[in-house]
């Protein structure tokens, strides 16, 4: 029988227990015991305050312990938290309706789930059923989740050692303007030629069963890479020519982070299916699949099944409604645009001061800074990125870095939309010092 304790174990005991009892699930654990969090900061057991430039797992867009979220959880947990999955509650229907109100036609039908992987799994399953096909196309640096179909459409990491993925998955080259593979006469990215070449290869490999293209509007784990304007319109044409559905994964970009409610608004391209997760629950496990009435009807007639334990749970749906309330009441789309400009300008100033900063990119409050060992050759350095990240943590800034082969020098930043200019300035100051200390 497990022993009960009244006092918190010592740090030594804590780490011994962690080492003995926790399954390691990716990378190393941060060498800090986190006791609590509030706003833009997390606080350690040793009393250190860490500025959270990752919004938790890129999710807590309203910061930690937002008072309106706290009030909603306290109220809802005492009235209606979880139901049999075939039962409906007011928070669920309200959230589905309100999500539709934030989206362009014909996106109006929502399925409420828990995680990004689950929402992508549900979207892929729907696309396969509706089209009667099974082949899925996604970006070569994509991250869509760790469940079977989502993991099979994920190429940035985690493919080796687990046996075959789902059959019929193809990778698109990433249209990376900083590191172009197809170029025009002036050396800039020729994304149209790249896209044509990619689909020539896909057509050659396809068995004639292309179902959907699942992509992120801005690749996050892939290094904060935003395809050029016009790319998604051209991609949609490629999909239409082949009878494929276009599925956009806005786990990190949806709900005001990029300065608009959805990142796809920049291109005027409406997906056939939209997946949301991280930002929708502002740190709590809530995700959604949103599609048209036509696609939903076809899926239903064909017997669409995605019956899970926590589908349409009222507690997190109530939180989702509160998230929408705060985003609207506080005009956080406008705030993300303003603060995003402030952050981007600050990062560009760092690039002027430090030769190791090769590129600054992103949109709104989703930003990326790529460190290079040599600006001329753009030679990256995983070790350089790791050293800067460690120094940031020592100085009080939690910076999320993509510790993946070939991407270890890309720093990802996604501060809460509720952050202040002073907090962003603090983060920039710490990052400036960390680069200076590391790269002298």
Looking up tokens 């784990």 gives 221
Please state, rounded to an integer, the average pLDDT across all residues of the chain.
95
pLDDT tens-place string over residues 222-250 = 999 999 999 999 999 999 999 999 999 99
Indicate if 216 belongs to the active site. yes
pLDDT of residue 8: 81
- Main-chain phi, psi angles of 206, to 5 degrees: -65, 145
In sequence order, the 6+-apart residues with CB closer than 8 A to the CB of 31 are none
The one catalytic residue among 141, 236, 278, 361 = 278
Strand-pair category, 245-249 with 273-276? parallel
The answer to whether the bond into 303 is cis (omega within 30° of 0) is no
pLDDT tens-place string over residues 119-175 = 999 999 999 999 999 999 999 999 999 999 999 999 999 999 999 999 999 999 999
Looking up tokens 């991280």 gives 278
pLDDT of residue 401: 73
**pTM here?**
0.96
Q: Where are the alpha helices (DSSP H) in 109-147?
A: 116-131
**Quick one: how many helices (H) and strands (E) in the chain?**
13, 16
Whether 277 has a pLDDT exceeding 60, the answer reads: yes
The one catalytic residue among 118, 216, 313, 370 = 216
The one catalytic residue among 249, 333, 359, 370 = 249
Helix axes 293-301, 116-131, angle to 10 degrees: 70
Domains of the chain: 31-60+331-438 (3.90.1150.10), 70-329 (3.40.640.10)
CA 95, chain centre distance (Å)? 21
Give percent of the chain above pLDDT 90.
92
pLDDT tens-place string over residues 45-100 = 999 999 999 999 999 999 999 999 999 999 999 999 999 999 999 999 999 999 99
Token pair in block for residue 392: 């940031």
pLDDT of residue 246: 98
pLDDT of residue 62: 98
Are 123 and 282 in contact by the 8 Å Cβ rule? The answer is no
Indicate if 15 belongs to the active site. no
Are 111 and 306 in contact by the 8 Å Cβ rule? The answer is yes
CA angle 68, 70, 71 (to 5 degrees): 65
Whether 2 has a pLDDT exceeding 90, the answer reads: no
Whether 440 has a pLDDT exceeding 80, the answer reads: no
Token pair in block for residue 369: 């800074």
Residue 185: other Cβ atoms inside 10 A: 6
Burial class from Cβ neighbours inside 10 Å (0-12, 13-18, 19+) for residue 206 reads: middle
pLDDT of residue 400: 77
Indicate if 261 belongs to the active site. no
pLDDT of residue 409: 87
Mean pLDDT over 349-375 rounds to 96
pLDDT of residue 257: 98
Token pair in block for residue 246: 């276009």
At residue 27 the predicted structure's pLDDT band, cuts being 50, 70 and 90, is: confident
Whether 280 has a pLDDT exceeding 90, the answer reads: yes
Indicate if 252 belongs to the active site. yes
Q: What torsion do the CA atoms of 53, 56, 58, 61 make, to the nearest 10 degrees?
A: -80
Residue 126: other Cβ atoms inside 10 A: 26
pLDDT of residue 421: 98
The one catalytic residue among 252, 257, 313, 335 = 252
Token pair in block for residue 257: 């982070």
Whether 5 has a pLDDT exceeding 60, the answer reads: no
Strand partners, 284: 282
The one catalytic residue among 143, 236, 250, 370 = 143
Indicate if 345 belongs to the active site. no
Alpha carbons 110 and 125: distance in angstroms, whole number: 15
The one catalytic residue among 76, 194, 412, 423 = 412
Spatial CA neighbour of 417 closest among 311, 314, 351, 342 = 342
Are 325 and 377 in contact by the 8 Å Cβ rule? The answer is no
């Amino acid at each position: 029988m497990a022993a009960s304790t009244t006092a918190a174990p010592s740090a030594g005991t804590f780490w011994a227990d962690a080492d003995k009892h926790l399954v390691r699930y990716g990378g190393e654990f941060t060498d800090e015991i986190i006791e609590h969090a509030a706003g833009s900061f997390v606080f350690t057991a040793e009393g250190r305050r860490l500025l959270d430039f990752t919004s938790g797992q890129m999710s807590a867009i309203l910061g930690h312990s937002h008072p309106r979220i706290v009030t909603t959880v306290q109220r809802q947990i005492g009235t209606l938290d979880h139901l049999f999955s075939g039962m409906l509650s007011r928070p669920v229907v309200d959230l589905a309706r309100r999500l539709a109100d934030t989206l362009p036609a014909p996106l109006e039908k929502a399925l409420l789930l828990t995680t990004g992987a689950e929402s992508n799994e549900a979207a892929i399953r729907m696309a396969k059923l509706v089209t009667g096909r099974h082949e899925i196309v996604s970006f070569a640096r994509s991250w869509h989740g760790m469940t079977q179909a989502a993991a099979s459409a994920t190429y940035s990491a985690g493919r080796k050692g687990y046996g075959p993925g789902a059959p019929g998955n193809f990778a698109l080259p990433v249209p990376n303007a900083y590191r172009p593979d197809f170029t025009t006469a002036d050396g800039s990215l020729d994304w149209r030629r790249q896209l044509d070449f990619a689909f020539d290869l896909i057509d050659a490999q396809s068995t004639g069963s292309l179902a959907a293209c699942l992509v992120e509007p801005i690749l996050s784990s892939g290094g904060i890479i935003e395809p050029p304007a016009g790319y998604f319109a051209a991609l949609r044409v490629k999909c239409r020519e082949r009878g494929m559905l276009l599925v956009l994964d806005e786990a990190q970009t949806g709900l005001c982070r990029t300065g608009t409610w959805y990142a796809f608004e920049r291109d005027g391209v409406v997906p056939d299916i939209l997946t949301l997760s991280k930002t929708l629950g502002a740190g709590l496990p809530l995700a959604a699949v949103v599609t048209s009435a036509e696609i939903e009807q076809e899926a239903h007639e064909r017997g669409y099944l995605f019956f899970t334990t926590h589908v349409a749970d009222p507690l997190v749906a109530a939180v989702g409604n509160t998230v929408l309330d705060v985003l609207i009441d506080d005009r956080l789309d406008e705030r993300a645009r303003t603060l995003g400009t402030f952050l981007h300008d600050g990062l560009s100033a760092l690039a002027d001061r430090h030769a190791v900063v090769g590129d600054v990119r992103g949109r709104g409050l989703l930003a990326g800074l790529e460190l290079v060992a040599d600006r001329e050759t753009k030679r990256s350095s995983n070790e350089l990125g790791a050293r800067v990240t460690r120094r940031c943590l020592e100085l009080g800034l939690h910076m999320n870095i993509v510790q993946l082969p070939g991407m270890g020098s890309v720093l990802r930043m996604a501060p809460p939309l509720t952050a202040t200019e002073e907090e962003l300035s603090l983060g920039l100051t710490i990052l400036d010092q960390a680069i200076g200390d590391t790269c002298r």
